[in-house]
Structure 1
Amino acid sequence: MQVVIFVRSKQRMKEKKFYKNIQKVLDGLPENFSILEEQIDIEVQMKYFDFARKLRTAGRASDCFEHRDELFLDNISFERKREILVIIAAIDDVKAFRTIERFVKESSGEIYQWAVLAMQESRMLLQSSLLDEQQVFISTGLGGKGQKLRYYVVFINKKPDGMLNRTQQKLLKDELLTELKSNDGEFETIDFTEGFSTALVMLPLQTDLKNVFRNIIEECNQYGDFLNDDMILTNVKMLSRSEITEMLQSGQVSDFEDAEEWNEMDDDDED
C-alpha cells in the first residue's frame, strides 16, 4: 500500500474519494501487520512484485531453492540472483529465510533492495504459517518503524522568496514537536530554505494526518501568519528542491481547509 502526495486540482472530488478509500483500508487493518522499515525506491518495489508475480507461475521453486547458495557467488548475474530471491521468498522453509537474511547482510546496491523485500516476504510467510493467520505487509518509499510510517513534509512560506527568521523557525519546530508528541509521533529532521521548510517525521499508521498538520500551521499562524495553508505531504520519497518548486508552480499541493468537507463525503459520491 502506498499513500502518495495529496494533490489539489480540478479533479478534487476524485482525490477526496481516493483519500477516504485509503482511510477505510487503514481503519480495517488487522492487529498483525508489518511495515517495511527500509527506504526503498517505489520503482524498485514495483519491479520486484511484478517480476515475482510473473516468475512464480513458472514452477521453478525447486531449482532456485536447491541452488540458493548461488546468491553468494561473484560470477552469478544480477538477473539470476533476483530470480532466486523472489522464488525462495515464497517458499515456506526457514532455510530459505536464513539464506535471504544472510544475503541481505552481504549485499549492496539495487540487489540489496531486492533482498530486503524478499526477506520481508519470507518472514511474513513464516509468521503466517506459525500463527495460522494472514499477515498484512505495508510498504512505502520512505519506510517506517514498528507501526509508524515515515513522511516527508513541506511547509510553504507565505513569502515565496524569503526564509523564515530564527523566531519563526523555532516556532515551527516547536509546534511540530508538540503535535508529534501528542500523536505518538517521532521527529527526525527539519530544514529551512528559501520559500519553504521540509521535515521528516514518523506517525502511527492510523493518524489523522489532516488534523496533525493543520494544527501545526494554525498554531504557527497565530504568531505572525507566515505559513501557507497549502502543504506537500508524501511517504513515497524525499523531494528535491526542483521537484518541490515544480509542484508549487503547478499547484500540486494539499489544502487542509478542505479537511472537513473530505470527512463529510458519502460512500456513494461520484467523480
Structure 2
Amino acid sequence: MNDLKFSDDEGDGYGFSETIPEQFIVTEKELDQELYEQFIDEQEWIDPQPNYADLIRQGEQLSGNTMPISEKKRILVQLSCRGTAEAYRLLQEYCTRPDSALAEWSRIALYECRMRLESDLLDEPVGLISTGLGGDGERLRYIFVLVFQGESSEEGQQREIREGLDKVCLEHRSVVEQAQFRPPCLYVQVLVPMDVAVGEVIEESLGRLNQQKEEFLPDYLVTNVSVPTDEEIQSFLDEL
C-alpha cells in the first residue's frame, strides 16, 4: 500500500498524495527493507487477481507440505492484497508456523493485509511504521540511558525510581518494559505513543526523579534503532 507518491509534474519536485495516513500500525519488529520492497513489487505485478473463493481454498492449504515454496509465496502476496478478515485469519494462522524460507515474507503479508483491512474498517488510509526496535502496534519502542550523579541507588531507592518512571509514563500513555540498574547507569526500555515526544517523557522522568535529590545527570542517551552496545554506552559516558 503506497501512501507516499511522487509528483509527475515537471518542476514541482516531490509531492505527497492527498491521503497521507493519520493512523499507523507499528510493527513489533523491524521489517527487512529489501524484502519489503520485493514484496511490494510482487503486489504490483499481480494481475489479474484470482477468484476469491479459489484463493481462500489455496490459503487453507498453506500449512501443508505438498505445495511448492514459490506457490506459497505467490498466495501470501495475493491474500495480502485482499484485506479481508478471512484473508487476515489465514495469514495469521500461517505466520504462527511458517516455512522457514517464508517467515519474514509471511510477516510482511500479514501487515499488508492488516493495513488494508483497517483502512476499510476506518474508511481512511492506514500506514505502516517499522523501526529497529519495533513496537506494540500503536507505540514505538525506545531505549534510553540515564546516568547517576554519584553512587547508584540502594534497593529501596531503586523501587522509588521505578515507581517514578511508571507514573510519568502512565501520564503519557506509555509503558516501562524494563528498568535495569547498571552502575553507573539506569537502562530503560519504554513504549511511547507516536503522538508523544519521547524526549518529553525522558525529561519529565528526570525532573521527577531529581525532585528530592539530584539523582541523575541531565544528559541521556536515547534510540529506537537498535539495542545500544556496552561500547556505545561507554562512548556516551566518555563524552560527558
Mark yes or no: TM-score above 0.5.
Answer: yes
Q: Match of 2:25?
A: 35
Cα displacement (A) at 1:81: 4.5
1:187 maps to 176
Q: For residues 198-246 of structure 1, what are the alpha-carbon distances to aligned partners after superposition, in whole Å with 9 as ceiling and x for unaligned? A: 1222233212332221122133334442322221222334334344334
Alignment RMSD, CA only?
3.5
2:199 alignment partner, one of 183, 200, 210? 210
Contact 1:36 1:120 in 2 (8 A): no
Contact 1:175/1:216 (8 A) holds in 2? yes
Distance 1:79 1:201, change over 3 A: farther
Change (3 A) 1:59 1:118: closer
Q: Does 1:136 align with 2:123?
A: no
**Letter of the structure 2 residue corresponding to residue 244 of structure 1:** I
Structure 2: unaligned runs, 5 residues or longer: 1-19
Instruction: Quote the Cα distance in structure 2 between the aligned partners of 1:104 and 1:29.
Output: 26
Question: What displacement does 1:69 show?
Answer: 5.5
Residue number among 145, 152, 165 corresponding to 1:154 in the alignment:
145
1:170 aligns with 2:171: no
TM-aligned CA distance change 1:82 to 1:168, over 3 Å: farther
Q: Larger C-alpha radius of gyration, 1 or 2?
A: 2
Q: How many residues align?
A: 217
Q: How does 1:1-271 map to 2 (within 5 A)?
A: 30=22, 33-36=23-26, 38=28, 40=29, 42=30, 44-59=31-46, 62=49, 65=55, 68=59, 71-74=62-65, 81-82=72-73, 84-107=75-98, 111-145=102-136, 147-159=138-150, 163-249=152-238
Give the conservation status (yes or no) of the 8 Å contact 2:46–2:78.
no
CA distance in 1, matches of 2:179, 2:44: 46
- Describe the superposition over 1:42-77 as per-residue Cα deviations: whole angstroms up to 9, x where unpaired: 3x3313321223323433664795854663244667
Q: Which amino acid aligns with 2:91?
A: I
Residue identity in the other structure for 1:192? F
Question: What amino acid is aligned across from residue 58 of structure 1 in structure 2?
Answer: W
Contact 1:158 1:227 in 2 (8 A): yes
- Per the normalisation by structure 2, the TM-score is 0.70
CA distance in 1, matches of 2:199, 2:131: 19
Distance 1:113 1:185, change over 3 A: same
What is aligned with 2:7?
A: none
Which TM-score applies when normalising by structure 1?
0.63
SS at match of 1:230: strand
Higher relative contact order (CA 8 A, sep 6+): 1
Q: Secondary structure of the residue that 1:239 maps to in structure 2? A: coil
Q: Deviations over 1:100-150 (max 9, x none)?
A: 122022238684444233212112213323554222333334343464333
- Distance across 2 between alignment mates of 1:105 and 1:34: 23
**1:35–1:144 contact (8 Å) kept in structure 2:** no
3-state secondary structure, aligned to 1:72: coil
For residues 171 and 58 of structure 1, do their structure 2 counterparts lie closer, same or farther at Cα, with a shift above 3 Å needed?
same
Contact 1:172 1:216 in 2 (8 A): no
Amino acid of the structure 1 residue aligned with 2:173? D
TM superposition shift of 1:197: 1.5
Between the aligned partners of 1:93 and 1:193, the Cα distance in structure 2 is 47
**Contact 2:145–2:185, Cα closer than 8 Å, also in 1:** yes
Q: CA deviation at 1:155?
A: 1.4
* SS of match in other structure, 2:111: helix
Q: Which has the larger helix fraction?
A: 1
